[in-house]
Amino acid sequence: MKKFYYILLKIFGVMLLFTSCLMAKNIEDAKPLGFELGKTTFEEFKAKYPRSKETGFGTYTKGPIYDVSPNLLPLEHVEKARFFFNHKNKLALVILEFEAWRFNNLKRTLSERYVLIKEEGMDVPVLGNVGQQLSQYSQGNIEISLSLENNRSNCKLQYSMIKDPDHERQLTASEQKELL
Query: Can you point out the beta strands (E) in 24-131?
Result: 53-58, 63-68, 78-85, 91-99, 115-120
State pTM to two decimals: 0.72
What is the C-alpha end-to-end distance of the chain, expressed in Å? 62
- 19 pLDDT more than 50: no
What pLDDT is stored for residue 132 in this prediction? Answer: 79
Give the containing element (helix H, strand E) for 180. none
Q: Are 137 and 144 in contact (CB under 8 A)?
A: yes
- 32 pLDDT more than 50: yes
Full strand arrangement of the beta sheet holding 53-58: 53-58, 63-68, 78-85, 91-99, 154-161, 142-148, 133-139, 115-120
Residues 6 or more apart from 121 whose CB is under 8 A from it?
Answer: 131, 132, 133, 134, 148
What pLDDT is stored for residue 180 in this prediction? Answer: 46
Least confident of 6-15, 51-60, 71-80, 130-139: 6-15
What pLDDT is stored for residue 137 in this prediction? Answer: 92
Q: Bridge partners of 161?
A: 142
